[in-house]
Amino acid sequence: MKFKLQDHILVPKHELLSKEEAEELLKILGVRKEDLPKIRADDPIAKEIGAKPGDIVRIIRESKTAGRSVVYRLVI
């Protein structure tokens, strides 16, 4: 049986950003890539979405306070 780890209730949605999206994001946030929180390339979810070091992952969390919050992590 094959299943997706992303379906687990503890795992929020992870999305891989394209090059253009990533660049635009950094411009909006006004930070360098390295200033973002990190996610390891061998993280089970990062592997599942096929993220490579240097990519940026968008994470859409179900937050207890804000309802839905979007954060970004740099793949290392």
Partner 1 sequence: MYEEIFKDYPLPEELKKEIVEELERRKVDKKTAKKIIEKCYEVYMKNLMEPGEAAGIVAAQSIGEPGTQMTMRTFHYAGVAEINVTLGLPRLIEILDVRKNPSTPMMTIRLLPEYAKDREKAREVANRIEATTVNDVADIATDLRNMRIIVTPDPKALEKKDLKFADVLKKVEKSVKEEVFEEDGKIIIQIKEPSYKKLMDTFDKVRKLVIAGIKEIKRVIIRKEGDEYVLYTEGSNLKKVMKVKGVDFTRTITNNIYEIYEVLGIEAARNAVINEALATLEEQGLEVDVRHIMLVADAMTADGELKQIGRHGVAGEKQSILARAAFEMTVNNLLEASVRGEVDKLNGITENIIVGQPIKLGTGDVELVLKLGGSK
Asked if 58 is part of the footprint of partner 1 (rule: CB under 8 A), the reply reads: no
Rounded CA-CA distance 57/76 in Å is: 11
Asked if 69 is part of the footprint of partner 1 (rule: CB under 8 A), the reply reads: yes
Which residues are 14's β-sheet partners? 59
Task: Determine the number of helices (DSSP H) and then strands (DSSP E) in the chain.
Answer: 2, 4
Which residues are 49's β-sheet partners? none
Q: Compute, in degrees rounded to 10, the torsion defined by CA atoms 1, 47, 56, 10.
A: 50
| Least CB distance to partner 1 at residue 2 (A) | 10
| Least CB distance to partner 1 at residue 39 (A) | 5
Asked if 29 is part of the footprint of partner 1 (rule: CB under 8 A), the reply reads: no
Give 20 or 51: the residue with its C-beta nearer to partner 1. Answer: 51
Q: Give the binding site for partner 1 (CB under 8 A).
A: 1, 3, 5, 7-12, 14, 37-40, 43-46, 59, 61, 63-69, 73, 76
